Amino acid sequence: MTGAAAAWLTACGPMERGSADSFTASGELIALSGGDAGAANACFTCHGLDGRGNGAGAPRLAGLDRGYMTAQLEAYASGRRYHPEMSWIASKLTPVQQDAVSAHYAAMPFVPQKPSTAQTDGAAALLYQQGDPARGLASCASCHGKVGEGVGSGNPPLAGQPAAYLAEQLDLWRAAKRRNDAGNVMLRISQALTPAEAAALAAYASALPGGPPHPESRAASRAEHRADPRSDASAQPQRGAE
């Protein structure tokens, strides 16, 4: 990162998140250099130059929602999301830098995967697509899309994410080491699943083809409810994005 670019990024104050275009170039510098976290911790070393992850513990970032990724960096920095390396890296980035690198990865294309030819786990497919009313479990598809495309900015796509990464996140939620989902929804879901079910769901979701994210309906949007004066949601403490 050049000194001028670094100075510009650290000097910026609060900003609107309306236009990603002006931040993608500076975000690329952070992704390639690591910013104040150092070159050894540059984003691309784990997440790839194309943002597709490493196929194991590092998730794909390409095409994820900009605001969602910024919220995850904020959660890492605050300790609400657990990962030793990511927590340290995120704490070294200013809020403007977090948003800039998020804009960079959000602008990357994600090409939907070819449908998997592997044998599908029927129980995992049923749980993902229909849930389990007997246990009060809504379908994963209701938040993350039928083909893993994601629904709204707070419910990320699961398609194309490494199965090992998805399984690890369920483990972290179950142990309450990840606490940045609104209303503790994922905590409750993860604790209702058996470890075998969680692993099978992770494998099933990872193999979904994905596609353009499905917009969140206004009725289901937490942001809409917070803005509605008839709702008392604005008075409740916010726990961040899922």
What's residue 100's pLDDT?
95
**Residue 7, domain member (yes or no):** no
Task: Return the percentage of the chain with pLDDT > 70, whole number.
Answer: 78
Number of domains in the chain: 2
**Residue 12, domain member (yes or no):** no
Task: Domain of residue 187: give its range.
Answer: 122-235
Cβ atoms of 165 and 57 within 8 Å: the answer is yes
**Are 126 and 230 contained in the same domain?**
yes
231 has pLDDT over 70 = no
CA dihedral for 75, 227, 63, 108, sign (positive or negative): negative
Cα 44 off chain centre by: 17
**Are 151 and 217 contained in the same domain?**
yes
**Are 82 and 177 contained in the same domain?**
no
Q: How far, in Å, CA of 20 to CA of 148, rounded?
A: 24
**Residue 8, domain member (yes or no):** no
Q: What radius of gyration do the chain's Cα atoms show?
A: 18
**Are 94 and 173 contained in the same domain?**
no
218 has pLDDT over 50 = no
User: Tokens for 187?
Assistant: 């905590």
pLDDT in tens, 123-172: 999 999 999 999 999 999 999 999 999 998 899 999 999 999 999 999 99
22 has pLDDT over 90 = no
73 has pLDDT over 90 = yes
**Residue 220, domain member (yes or no):** yes
Q: Which of 106, 135, 151 is the last residue of a domain?
A: 106
pLDDT in tens, 184-199: 899 999 999 999 999 9
Q: For residue 85, what is the domain's CATH number?
A: 1.10.760.10
**Residue 112, domain member (yes or no):** no
Q: Which of 60, 81, 106 is the last residue of a domain?
A: 106
Helix (H, G, I), strand (E, B) or coil at 46: helix
**Are 64 and 152 contained in the same domain?**
no
**Are 84 and 160 contained in the same domain?**
no
DSSP result, 166-219? HHHHHHHHHTT-B--SGGGHHHHHHHHS-HHHHHHHHHHHHTS---SPBPPPGG
**Are 101 and 132 contained in the same domain?**
no
**Residue 241, domain member (yes or no):** no
Q: How far, in Å, CA of 86 to CA of 47, rounded?
A: 12
30 has pLDDT over 50 = yes
Q: How far, in Å, CA of 49 to CA of 126, rounded?
A: 35
**Are 188 and 221 contained in the same domain?**
yes
**Are 231 and 134 contained in the same domain?**
yes
The residue behind tokens 């990872």 is 206
What's residue 119's pLDDT?
75
Strand partners for 151: 214
**Residue 157, domain member (yes or no):** yes
**Are 78 and 27 contained in the same domain?**
yes
Q: Which of 106, 139, 158 is the last residue of a domain?
A: 106
**Residue 50, domain member (yes or no):** yes
